[in-house]
Amino acid sequence: PSNLSYWWGFGSLAGICLVIQIVTGVFLAMHYTPHVDLAFNSVEHIMRDVEGGWLLRYMHANGASMFLIVVHLHIFRGLYHASYSSPREFVRCLGVVIFLLMIVTAFIGYVLPWGQMSFWGATVITSLASAIPVVGDSIVTWLWGGFSVDNATLNRFFSLHHLLPFLLVGASLLHLAALHQYGSNNPLGVHSEMDKIYFYPYFYVKDLVGWVAFAIFFSFWIFYAPNVLGHPDNYIPANPMPTPPHIVPEWYFLPIYAILRSIPDKSGGVAAIAPVFICLLALPFLKSMYVRSSSFRPIYQGIFWLLLADCLLLGWIGCQPVEAPFVTIGQISSLVFFLFFAITPIL
């Protein structure tokens, strides 16, 4: 049947990741202390003294990366097969809202261990709000709860990090409800009632294979490479006096971070972030396609793979120092990224 495909298993995987994050997060919160003098030590206490604490922490930290990997694959699959097109515009819009909530949740979660990179990442990213005309400085002071990143910042970030996952659950349920209004797209991009089959056992078994493969992949990172996706500077307690030589966010922020840095002007860099999400939101309304799947659109297919390569390049540029030739490459890559969304409606 046309609608039976492994590429349509990432939604259920994303749901599993969300459940893992909430469950491990609740147990970690029982032992975490949101105070600048105690936060770093409380994380070490979880690792050393709490039974199974190391497993909880590594599942939560690497689970965030797994969640973002699954969601990125989900997004790119949707772009490839044009799953965003009519009549599924609302599904797409809710998906972008979920993605934005995930990014905010992941960012404030990265601050909580209160290591050196946590502190300076929070300082750099929150201070970007000062680029907003007139009210920017007031917003930064409000975010910090004072005149610098300090205890008030850590407390409010901890509270928000506890709240946002439940908003994610609500948005995910709405996403699922909107999807069930018209059903899923398929690799052919053609709606057909003729060859549909029962969810159980066919789709269940297909998804089960994906879940097992994901569990193996996830287990590798937890047990064999738990710190590879993190930054070594975050094992140094936060200190506002020495600045790290190179402030790098988590890997899943790097493409957006590269776009932000590619514009020398601070206000321009911040302004370039909004179009990233606007493009994703606007895509369903730019063109109503009779042929959805890239399998039948060879020109679009080539440009899609160019976009994928460009996003990987942006991710690499985001972790490089701000110097030549990385700045120039980042600017060209950012231009290519936005050009994709500009020319997609005419393909």
Q: In tens digits, what is the pLDDT along the chain, a chain of 347 residues? A: 677 889 999 999 999 999 999 999 999 999 999 999 999 999 999 999 999 999 999 999 999 999 999 999 999 999 998 888 878 889 999 999 999 999 999 999 999 999 999 999 999 999 989 888 889 899 999 999 999 999 999 999 999 999 999 999 999 999 999 999 888 888 887 777 777 777 788 888 999 999 999 999 999 999 999 999 998 999 999 999 998 888 888 999 999 999 998 988 888 888 899 999 999 999 888 876 667 778 888 998 999 999 999 999 999 999 998 888 999 999 999 999 999 999 988 87
Question: Tokens at residue 46, please?
Answer: 């979880």
Residue 294 lies in a domain: no
Residue 210 lies in a domain: yes
pLDDT of residue 236: 93
Q: Say if residue 73 is exposed, middle or buried (CB neighbours under 10 Å; 0-12, 13-18, 19+).
A: middle
Position 106 in a domain:
yes
184 labelled catalytic:
yes
282 in any annotated domain: no
Q: How many structural domains comprise the chain?
A: 1
According to the annotation, is 72 in a ligand binding site?
no
**Cβ(343)–Cβ(303) below 8 Å:** yes
Annotated catalytic residue, options 2, 127, 184, 267: 184
Quickly list H helices, the chain.
10-29, 39-48, 53-80, 89-111, 116-127, 136-144, 151-182, 204-223, 254-262, 266-271, 273-286, 298-318, 326-343
What pLDDT shows up at residue 289? 67
Given 250, 293, 294, 310, the catalytic residue: 250
What radius of gyration do the chain's Cα atoms show? 21
* Residue 181 maps to a domain: yes
Whats the size of the chain, residue-wise? Answer: 347
Q: Which of 180, 191, 196, 246 is catalytic?
A: 180
- Is 198 within a domain? yes
Tell me if residue 180 is catalytic: yes
Residues 301 and 325: their CA atoms lie apart, in Å, by 29
pTM to 2 decimals? 0.93
161 in a labelled binding site? yes
Domain that holds residue 138: 6-252
SS3 198: coil
- For residue 267, the Cα-to-chain-centroid distance in whole angstroms is 23
Domain membership flag for residue 113: yes
What CATH number has the domain bearing residue 10? 1.20.810.10
> Residue 2 has which token pair?
């046309």
45 annotated as belonging to a binding site for a ligand: no
Does 207 qualify as catalytic in the annotation?
Answer: yes
| Rounded Cα gap, residues 154 and 42, in angstroms | 14
Catalytic, 250? Answer yes
Three-class secondary structure of residue 50 per DSSP: coil
Q: Looking at the domain assignment, is residue 343 inside a domain?
A: no
